[in-house]
Structure 1
Amino acid sequence: MPPDYRIAEAAALLGVSDDTVRRWIDAGRLTASRSGGGPAVVDGVQLARVATELRDAPQPGTTPSSARNRLTGIVTRVVRDTVMAQVELQAGPFRLVSLMSREAADELGLEPGVRAVATVKATQVSVDVP
C-alpha cells in the first residue's frame, strides 16, 4: 500500500511550496485526510498522478538538468515483466527512468506513490528507498 505524505513532504517531492499544495487541496486537485487529529496527509497515488501532470506540463524558460547526483522523488510508474522492471521517478521537474531486475524492484517495494531516491552516475540510474 502506498504511503501518505504530509503537506511539506508532498511539496518537496513535487518541487512546489507548501502553500501551493494547500491551494491544490482547496481546489480539489489533491485530497487531504486526517486521522485522529493528526496532520493532514496526501495519498501517495494521488501525489504520483499530480507529479506526472507536472512532468507533462511545459516549464517556460527551463531545460531539464541536474547538478546533483542524488534526486529524491516519487515513483510514478513501474512496468514489470518476468525478469526486468522499468521504474519511472518524478523528482521535482525531472523525470528519471531506471531499468533494474524485477527482484530488486519487488524487494524495494517500488510502486506508484512510493518515495525513492535516484542515484545517477554516467548512464546508470540506481533507485534506493530512504
Structure 2
Amino acid sequence: MTHFRISEAAHLLGVSDDTVRRWVGDGILPAVPDASGRQVVAGTDLAAQAQRLAGEAADDDPVRRSARNRFTGLVTAVQIDGLMAQVELQSGPHRVVSLMSAEAARELALEVGSKATAVIKATMVVVETERENTP
C-alpha cells in the first residue's frame, strides 16, 4: 500500500502541513509511523479525504453540471490575437491553458490577477505514474 508523509499529503490535498497534522490529531485522517518513525498517511485514506473535500466544495455550488473537473485559480496570462485568445490559469500547482474566442475573453473580463474557474470535460485523459525503482 502507498503511504505519504505529512508534507506530501498536504501538497496533494492543496492544504498546509499544519492542516494535515490537525486532521491527524482530530482523528479525521488516520496516520501511522513509518519505519523511520515519521507519521505517514495511507493512500486510500488520503484519497477518501480528497473526495470528502471535493464533495464539500461541490455542495457549495448552486449550479449542477456534467463536467467534474474544475480548477479555480488566478489568471496568470491573457494573450488576445485577432479572433482568438490564450488564457493561462494557475490553480495551486496546476497550470491550465485555454484557447477561446477573443470575444469570450473580453466578455469574461479576464485579466492577469483575476479569479477564474476552468471547467474541463474530456473524453480522453492521460494518467501517468512514476516508475518504481527495481533492483
TM-score normalised over the length of structure 1: 0.51
For structure 1, list consecutive stretches of 5 or more residues without a partner in the other structure: 70-93, 98-121
* Structure-2 separation of matches of 1:28 and 1:44: 16
- 1:123 shift after superposition: 5.4
* Structure-1 separation of matches of 2:123 and 2:36: 46
- 1:51 shift after superposition: 0.3
Seq. identity, %:
42
Q: How does 1:1-130 map to 2 (within 5 A)?
A: 2-58=1-57, 64-65=70-71, 67=89, 68-69=95-96, 124-130=124-130
* Structure-1 separation of matches of 2:57 and 2:39: 29
- 1:125 shift after superposition: 1.6
- 1:31 shift after superposition: 1.2
- Root-mean-square deviation (CA), in Å? 3.2
* Structure-2 separation of matches of 1:25 and 1:10: 11
> SS of the residue aligned with 2:127?
strand
Q: Aligned AA for 2:11? A: A
Q: Aligned AA for 2:125? A: V
Q: Aligned AA for 2:71? A: S
- 1:58 shift after superposition: 2.1
For structure 2, list consecutive stretches of 5 or more residues without a partner in the other structure: 62-69, 73-88, 90-94, 97-117, 131-135
> SS of the residue aligned with 1:28?
coil
> SS of the residue aligned with 1:65?
strand
Structure number with greater Rg is 2
TM-score normalised over the length of structure 2: 0.49
Q: Runs of 4+ in structure 1 displaced over 3 angstroms?
A: none
Q: Aligned AA for 1:13? A: L
> SS of the residue aligned with 1:29?
coil
